[in-house]
Chain A
């Protein structure tokens, strides 16, 4: 087999694996979101489809979405309208490439993994703005403009709040950072490490900024159902709409996974040092630990969504510019001095 064919083959396999995982994970997340929403409001959520607690509800929903008519308004900017969901979906899928699911189970160990995720997350925003602008709908334009206004206020805190763990581990690679947290029987996570106070300061900032990045409540102004119909995806139907839906939950998982990998030890779990490195059991348990940690953070995002009401746009800007940005800068400074102090002690 020639070299280039091998590369293409590997890419196809990786694509299929990532896309399958993403689809199943998103279906599970949607079901989980509805269940969490239900239980918080003393309801039960979906109960019919599939038998046990409506586990097949998402499958039924996605089949329904696939069979829906694909509509494009006459006045819409067809090119923007058609490219936007594809762009959003492509970036959301591409973010999965650098996630370290288990030792060695990573599509590409990019040296700048964290940076790549930040960059792709920003491209998603462009897709949202394209969708809103191309829809020929005033609500969509409002949603897109809100997203554009919002993006600047949280991108900086998001990037800055990722610096403390990067400083601590001296790498942008998620896999390397995860391996560095394997000590103490798999419990030397960043939040328990020698830089724990900095970790606990930076994680809330990261989490809030990640909520805003994913357009999740209380920062879901671009889609704000009660004000803007459905914001930027008002005019989307069928599979194009499902792309935006997939993107939202995929991005949630990615942000949860980044949080898990940098702060909560990624695939490490207590007792990982007892297992033989590279054994099947370790790989599976590591995969389970990683996905469980990421899903736990996704659960917190859902919990926040069903607790906190949506902010006004000026409140989002105030939070972003006046509070998150200065605080994340302060945390970066504290982290820098902390790491410097750690070096002095160790040397």
Chain B
């Protein structure tokens, strides 16, 4: 069964000179607009020379406050992709650090490692740029010193 054809809108009437004038009008309008835009200040940023302002909540490269860390391993357990590896030996209250690495090839910057930290010593900073030609460079060492502290923290 043939469907009933919907009623058609009456075709727009073309007026030769009117069409020419409206074309000139609309083109002139557009050209004026682009000419105005030409003199505006660019909104882009000259990136490597000019760095963007990063919000404090940004989830960037991790920062570890090694003085506070108690080697509880909660961040490594929380990590869904198991990219945090840590190794240390306890000497009573002192912790002798062997390793604390984060593999940024796996890390998806979900911030789940930051929430369980009891000492709030493991946070994500605002640094975002990490470029290398070698895969091994992305296994990032977060320790600032290894082994036992050489001197008491002030």
Contacts and interface: CB of A to CB of B under 8 A. Distances in A.
A42 B31 contact: no
Given A307-B30, A323-B20, A36 B42 contact: no
B5 interface: no
B30 A308 contact: yes
A273 interface: no
Contacts of A41: 37
Contacts of A47: 46
Contacts of A327: 20
- Taking residues whose C-beta sits less than 8 angstroms from the other chain, chain B's interface range is 10 to 19
B42 A42 contact: yes
A84 B71 CA distance: 72
A36 B34 CA distance: 10
A40 B42 contact: no
Contacts of A36: 38
Contacts, number: 39
Nearest to A204: B24
A37 B87 CA distance: 55
A38 B27 contact: no
A42 B37 contact: yes
A169 interface: no
A44 interface: yes
Contacts of B31: 303-304, 307
Interface of B: 20, 27, 30-31, 33-35, 37-44, 46
Given A42-B37, A44-B42, A307-B30, 4 more contacts: A38-B42, A44-B44, A303-B31, A307-B27
Closest 6 CB pairs of A and B: A307-B34, A42-B43, A44-B42, A307-B30, A39-B38, A40-B34
